[in-house]
Amino acid sequence: MLAYARDRRRFLLFGRRRRVGPETHRRRAEVLLESLLTLGPTFIKLGQLLSTRPDVLPPEYIEVLSALQDEVPPAEWSDAKTVLEDELGPVDERFDEFDTEAISGASLGQVYRGRIDGESVAVKIRRPNVEPLIEADLRVIRWSMPLLLYFVDDARSFSLENLADEFAKTIREEMDYSREAKMLKEIRSNFEGDERFRIPAVIDSHSGSRVLTMEYVGGTKINDVAELDRKGIDRSELAEALQRSYLQMIIDDGVFHADPHPGNLAVTDDGQIVFYDFGMSGRVDDFVQDKIVDFYIAVANQDIDAILDSLIEIGTLSPEADRAVMAEVLELAIADARGEDIEQYRVQQIIGQVEDSIYEFPLRLPKNLALVLRVATVVEGVCVTLDQDFDFITTATEYLTEQGYREESIRQFVSASGDQLRDTTESLIRVPPKLERSLDKLDREAVTVTIELEDAHRVFDRLAKRLIYGLLLSVGLISTAIIYAFRGLDLAVIVSGSLSALLIVLLFLSFRRRRRGLQATPQFTRQNLRQRRGDE
């Protein structure tokens, strides 16, 4: 926290804003990563959540923390057995077989294999005694937050407060395996009948709030390219299917698997994509779904104004932001991401540039969009691993066209244009009578003009301060001169002179130009953008 504050102010608590280079940010992020790993389960989860919040941390932090894997050594079987039997009863009675060696361990739970009625199952057990540890860690975070907020600006303060609330809610939800089972069932039902995907079934009779028993489905890790090639699986088709599955979850279904890193995705020998671990899952409301569609269509059409409109409406971009600057950022990002074919460019690179601008301005990232942003970038990373020539925009455009979204967008545009034309015609009819009445009032001198001044930069406040400082300084100088003339150099002269000197300093500082608002134009020149891309 001290390092973060030191990087923002020249003298920690005061002074001009301090610009820190990417290497310094990266070193800070690596130290933070080690600290989070040392602090344990809660802070590992916190690091994962921070990696989805470019409105809170610089891009270098996001990059380092994105590599944070939720993998820790499993707890002792004797402790895990206590949790399992408290929830379900004696292991020997409930399972035909049970392997006491965990097949995976995470910060909140660990997974074992067993058999029920001859069928292989995976049993996820919450870590023993993790609840009081999580609550204690959440108290530490809650107590630390006011101190951290002291060092940040208002916009980022708002984001951090939201982040703390969001994190407490998310980690408590993830500890509730009943909720995970419900989300898993819902997502599984949405893909029912689609042979391209395999989502394990929940065994309700052997599940509870601390234990989740599922159908065991094995497979090859999705980023094991050599093994996939050996099995003759078409990786290009696999990448397209994976991308389409997340487009369906986010745009159509409104509920999605939010942790698509390679450890949670596998491929069966038949080429089916298997999804694991639904502890981190999310929902998207109708409004956000519509705006995401608008954003994808605008990117596909290279319509910069439409991209900006969708970002403003969804809450990512402030309405007060300089549209010309942001248009240049997006235009350069799309041009930089474009391949040899003018239609080939990657949304991950676009999002990466927007993430940079979110931190630099800074802007807010809505809570309900943070997981979606993370999913979009992680999924495309997996797709590019499967197929280096994978084109997200082409796949997204085809999906939107097949589902009728682009056609609906055109219909809405035509309808809106018709409404505007009708409103314009009505206005043209109403204007002449109103104009005549206004001219009559003006002729009778019955017009009152009300002027309201907006002083966003507090110009009048600074002017008032300067007048007050100037008057006090004049009085101080005259008083000092009079006292010196009658009494010579004594304590009263020194005090009066010191106060006058202080007023001179304050008056001088009031004339110094302060950097306010969005001072971002110089940051996004073409040369600067290419240099930043080169550094990455």
Give the pLDDT confidence of 254-295 residue by residue, as tens digits: 999 988 888 889 999 999 999 998 988 888 888 888 888 888
DSSP 8-state assignment for residue 205: G
Q: Which residues sit opposite 105 in a β-bridge?
A: 110
Supply the pLDDT for residue 180: 94
User: What's the CATH number of domain 71-146+176-217, 3.10.150, 3.30.1380, 1.20.1630, 3.30.200?
Assistant: 3.30.200
Contact 152, 1 (CB under 8 A): no
Mean pLDDT within 78-98: 93
Q: Higher confidence at residue 150 or residue 273? A: 273
Q: Which residue has the tokens 């696999």?
A: 238
- Is the pLDDT at 137 greater than 60? The verdict is yes
Domain ranges of the chain: 1-70+147-172, 71-146+176-217, 219-321+362-405, 464-510
Q: Backbone dihedral region of 98: left (phi > 0), alpha (psi from -120 to 50 degrees) or beta? A: beta
Range scoring the smallest mean pLDDT among 147-161, 335-349, 427-441, 486-500: 335-349
For 307-334, the pLDDT digits (tens) are 888 888 887 777 777 777 777 777 766 6
Residue 336 burial class via C-beta count within 10 angstroms: exposed 0-12, middle 13-18, buried 19 and up: middle
Supply the pLDDT for residue 346: 47
Instruction: Supply the DSSP string of 338-397, one letter for each residue.
Output: B-SSTT-B-HHHHHHHHHHHHHHTT----HHHHHHHHHHHHHHHHHHHH-TT--HHHHHH
**Which structure tokens are listed for 225?**
């390219």
Contacts of residue 24, defined as CB under 8 A and 6 or more positions apart, other chains included, come to: 7
Q: Higher confidence at residue 136 or residue 529? A: 136
- CA 236 – CA 231 distance, rounded (Å): 14
Q: Higher confidence at residue 125 or residue 430? A: 125
Mean pLDDT within 148-159: 59
Supply the pLDDT for residue 231: 93
Instruction: Report the residue count for the chain.
Output: 536
Residue type at 90 in one-letter notation: P
Contacts of residue 368, defined as CB under 8 A and 6 or more positions apart, other chains included, come to: 282, 283, 284, 285, 288
Q: What is the mean pLDDT of the chain?
A: 77
- CA 440 – CA 436 distance, rounded (Å): 6
End-to-end CA distance of the chain: 25
